[in-house]
């Protein structure tokens, strides 16, 4: 079957590598299908270009994977309009975190023929095989579709087991413009570094109330397979910086140690980025991570208020957060601190704790702000909002409430909407002023060094390392 995978435009100069699509491309190609990729993310083509491309190339099937953001949803509607408008319309498949918890809504809004839930590698191969043979698809696990306007949802697909993850082929990098994705700049990179994403595990063992989980627990690839993949990226594309883009790379001390020891033994000479858990951020482990090339750890801190952390089901404490950030910075690793405001019962005091924390530990390596919490469909908070009447349904979420990721979707706090915005505006203005005051001081020092000390290493203000 002639398949077109669409990497939709993210409205940015560079984009994260679409890892999910690349895995799907690899398994479908191995199954004998003809695969191509439409890189709207790189070229920023309008949907009219996509329509012309579909008419000219006539793929038999198109597929898109997306998360649940407001931008992604609205982009999907535009892309879907183009797909559905062509004379010889292809079969249309959706996948990803966005459509999975509310398949009926997404099927009707997008006009897609099928939604694949959870991991798609096995399901998509079975589905295309059935479609080619004109066989019944109702016995294929992990699917949703409409039959006479009524939702049909088949049995959930069992997650791929630990021991089977290594059997999945490496992403089909050759079908994607890797030179474009390698330009993505991440914390701790030099201007000449080339980055690429690698996934070491699937899932997350935690259950934060604002997060939608397509599976429970964590499944791990072997360290040997991970090292082999990195070697291939270095050999083929001269990659020097790896973005471990798992939902959570630091799933435990032992696993993190094994990964670091594997990297050290392989002596690949790379730097890397990962998402971590603050309760595992202990000096000895961080020292090993630094030695193995770790440049940045992104921590989902979210709040510095103990009661709020409990309501989030974060399973961490303010003391662990402060100790973990201090230990990370002491180890020479950039500590990313992701913060949100707006969980159940929050107020100005809980917000101020977050501001004080960010000011105290601002290393000026990365601009950090506090974002409004969003109860994405499928998350416990989403169902809490439905039960309390704060959301009517999924249509209310996407069409009326979730219009921007930095604005309120649902107000769970003790503040009115106006009070919420006033408080968050004040908080982020304080954080921004602190960050840019430091940058200004750096620029002024750099100017003095240039002209008063005749600094011949100066390459222009636009080329400062952390601009």
Q: Which pLDDT tens digit goes with each residue over 407-453?
A: 999 999 999 999 999 999 999 999 999 999 999 999 999 999 999 99
Q: Where in the chain is the domain with CATH 3.40.50.280?
A: 2-153
Give the span between the Cα atoms of 271 and 411, in whole angstroms: 40
Q: What percent of the chain has pLDDT over 70?
A: 99
* pLDDT band at 13; cut points 50, 70, 90: confident
What would the 3-class secondary structure string for 406-455 be?
CCCCCCCCCCCHHHHHHHHHHHHHHHHHHHHHHHHHHHHHHHHHHHHCCC
pLDDT band at 390 (very low <50, low <70, confident <90, very high): very high
The two structure tokens encoding residue 405:
């990721």
Q: Tens digit of pLDDT for each residue in 204-250?
A: 999 999 999 877 789 999 999 999 999 999 999 999 999 999 999 99
How many Å apart are CA 423 and CA 341, to the nearest integer? 10
- Residue 464's pLDDT is what? 45
Distance CA(155)–CA(314), nearest Å, equals: 30
The CATH classification number of 182-461 equals 3.80.30.20
pLDDT tens per residue across span 264-306: 999 999 999 999 999 999 999 999 999 999 999 999 999 999 9
For 103-132, the pLDDT digits (tens) are 999 999 999 999 999 899 999 999 999 999
C-alpha neighbours within 13 Å on the C-beta side of residue 213: 15
Q: What is the mean pLDDT of the chain?
A: 95
User: In this model, does residue 462 exceed pLDDT 80?
Assistant: no
Largest CA distance in the chain: 78
Q: Tell me the CATH number for domain 2-153.
A: 3.40.50.280
pTM, 2 dp? 0.94
- Pairing mode, strands 150-153 and 294-302: unpaired
In sequence order, the 6+-apart residues with CB closer than 8 A to the CB of 176 are 7, 17, 18, 22, 37, 39
Residues of the chain with CATH 3.80.30.20: 182-461
Q: Indicate if the pLDDT at residue 467 is higher than 50.
A: no
């Amino acid at each position: 079957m002639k398949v077109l995978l669409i990497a939709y435009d993210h409205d940015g100069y560079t984009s994260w590598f679409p890892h999910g699509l690349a895995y799907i491309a690899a398994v479908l190609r191995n199954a004998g299908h003809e695969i191509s990729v439409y890189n709207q993310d790189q070229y920023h083509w309008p949907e009219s270009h996509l329509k012309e491309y579909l008419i000219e190339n006539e793929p038999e099937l198109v597929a898109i994977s997306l998360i649940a953001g407001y931008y992604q949803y609205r982009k999907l509607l535009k892309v879907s309009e183009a797909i559905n408008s062509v004379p010889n319309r292809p079969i249309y498949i959706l996948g990803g975190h966005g459509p999975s918890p509310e398949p009926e809504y997404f099927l009707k809004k997008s006009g897609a023929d099928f939604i694949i839930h959870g991991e798609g590698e096995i399901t998509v191969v079975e589905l295309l095989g059935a479609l080619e043979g004109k066989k019944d698809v109702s016995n294929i696990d992990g699917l949703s579709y409409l039959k006479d306007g009524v939702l049909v949802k088949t049995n959930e697909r069992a997650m791929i087991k630990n021991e089977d993850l290594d059997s999945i082929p490496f992403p089909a990098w050759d079908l994607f413009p890797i030179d474009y994705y390698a330009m993505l700049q991440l914390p701790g990179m030099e201007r000449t570094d080339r980055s690429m994403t690698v996934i070491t595990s699937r899932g997350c063992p935690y259950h934060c109330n604002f997060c939608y989980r397509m599976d429970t627990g964590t499944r791990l690839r072997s360290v040997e397979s991970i090292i082999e993949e990195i070697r291939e990226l270095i050999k083929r594309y001269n990659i020097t910086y790896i973005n471990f883009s798992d939902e959570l790379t630091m799933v435990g001390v032992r696993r993190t140690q094994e990964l670091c020891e594997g990297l050290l033994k392989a002596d690949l000479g790379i730097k890397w980025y990962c998402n971590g858990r603050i309760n595992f951020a202990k000096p000895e482990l961080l020292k090993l991570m630094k030695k193995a090339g770790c440049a940045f750890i992104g921590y989902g801190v979210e709040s510095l208020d103990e009661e709020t952390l409990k309501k989030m089901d974060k399973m961490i404490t303010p003391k662990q957060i402060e100790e973990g950030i201090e230990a990370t910075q002491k180890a020479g690793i950039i500590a990313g601190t992701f913060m949100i405001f707006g969980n159940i019962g929050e107020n100005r005091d809980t917000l101020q704790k977050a501001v004080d924390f960010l000011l105290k530990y601002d290393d000026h390596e990365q601009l950090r702000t506090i974002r409004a919490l969003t109860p994405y469909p499928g998350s416990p908070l989403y169902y809490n909002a439905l039960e309390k009447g704060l959301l009517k349904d999924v249509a209310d979420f996407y069409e009326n409430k979730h219009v921007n990721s930095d604005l309120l979707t649902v107000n769970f706090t003790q503040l009115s909407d106006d009070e919420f915005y006033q408080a968050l505006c004040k908080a982020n203005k304080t954080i921004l002023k602190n960050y840019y005051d430091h940058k200004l001081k750096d620029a002024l020092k750099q100017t003095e060094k240039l002209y008063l000390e005749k600094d011949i290493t100066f390459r222009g203000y636009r080329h400062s390392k952390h601009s």
